[in-house]
C-alpha cells in the first residue's frame, strides 16, 4: 500500500497513530530482541498494512504463529489478502483488549512476544490499563511486550502503565523513522516453580 493510500485511511480512521508505516530500519530495531531460532507465538496490535508482519513471517520458524489484531476494516482486508496462503497467520478485526479470547481461539496458552503500534495517547486511562494488563496476562514467563509510539509520548500515556505490571521496562527514542519513535521493551519476569 502506498503512503497516499495509508493517509486516506488516516483521514477516515481516528485511531491510526502515524502518517506512514514504520520504516524497515524501525522494524528491525524493534524486532532485534526476538529469538527467531525458537518456535514463537507473536501477537501484533495494530499491524496496519503488515510491515512488521512481513518481516516476522520471513524470520520466524515454520511452526511459529503470528496473531494480528487490527480494528481498521481496510487494513484487515489488505492483511487477509497478503497472508491468505499463510496458515500460521491469524487475522482478527478486534480491539487489543480482547487478546485473551483471541489467543484461546488460536489454541495457544500464552505468547512469547507482543508488538504494538496502537496509539496509547488516544485512549482513556481504563482502556490503557486493560490493554497493558491483558497483555501481561497472555505473555509467558520471560515474554516481552514491544510497543512503539510516536516520539512525543509522555510517560503517563504508556510507561507508567507498563511499570504497574512489568518487572523490567526499558525505553528509548529511535530517530530513523518518520515520525521518530519512542520504543519500549517490557519483560515479564521468569517465575520459579
Q: pLDDT tens digits, residue range 103-158?
A: 999 999 999 999 999 999 999 999 999 999 999 999 999 999 999 998 777 788 99
User: pTM for this structure?
Assistant: 0.89
29-40 pLDDT, tens per residue? 899 999 999 999
The four Cα atoms 185, 36, 38, 117 give a dihedral, to 10 degrees, of 40
Give me the domains of the chain, ranges plus CATH numbers.
3-187 (3.40.50.150)
Amino acid at each position: 500500500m502506498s503512503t497516499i493510500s495509508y493517509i486516506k485511511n488516516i483521514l477516515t480512521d481516528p485511531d491510526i497513530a502515524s502518517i506512514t508505516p514504520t520504516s524497515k530500519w524501525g522494524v528491525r530495531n524493534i524486532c532485534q530482541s526476538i529469538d527467531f531460532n525458537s518456535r514463537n507465538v507473536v501477537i501484533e496490535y495494530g499491524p496496519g498494512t503488515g510491515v512488521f508482519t512481513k518481516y516476522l513471517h520471513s524470520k520466524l520458524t515454520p511452526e511459529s504463529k503470528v496473531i494480528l489484531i487490527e480494528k481498521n476494516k481496510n487494513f484487515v482486508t489488505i492483511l487477509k489478502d497478503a497472508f491468505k496462503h499463510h496458515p500460521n497467520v491469524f487475522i482478527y478485526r478486534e480491539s487489543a483488549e480482547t487478546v485473551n479470547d483471541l489467543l484461546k481461539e488460536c489454541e495457544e496458552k500464552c505468547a512469547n512476544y507482543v508488538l504494538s503500534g496502537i496509539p496509547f495517547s488516544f485512549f482513556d486511562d481504563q482502556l490503557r490499563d486493560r490493554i497493558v494488563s491483558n497483555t501481561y496476562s497472555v505473555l509467558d514467563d520471560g515474554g516481552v511486550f514491544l510497543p512503539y509510539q510516536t516520539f512525543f509520548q509522555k510517560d503517563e500515556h504508556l510507561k507508567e502503565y507498563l511499570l504497574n505490571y512489568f518487572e523490567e521496562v526499558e525505553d528509548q527514542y529511535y530517530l530513523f523513522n518518520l515520525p521518530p519513535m519512542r520504543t519500549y521493551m517490557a519483560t515479564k519476569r521468569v517465575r520459579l516453580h
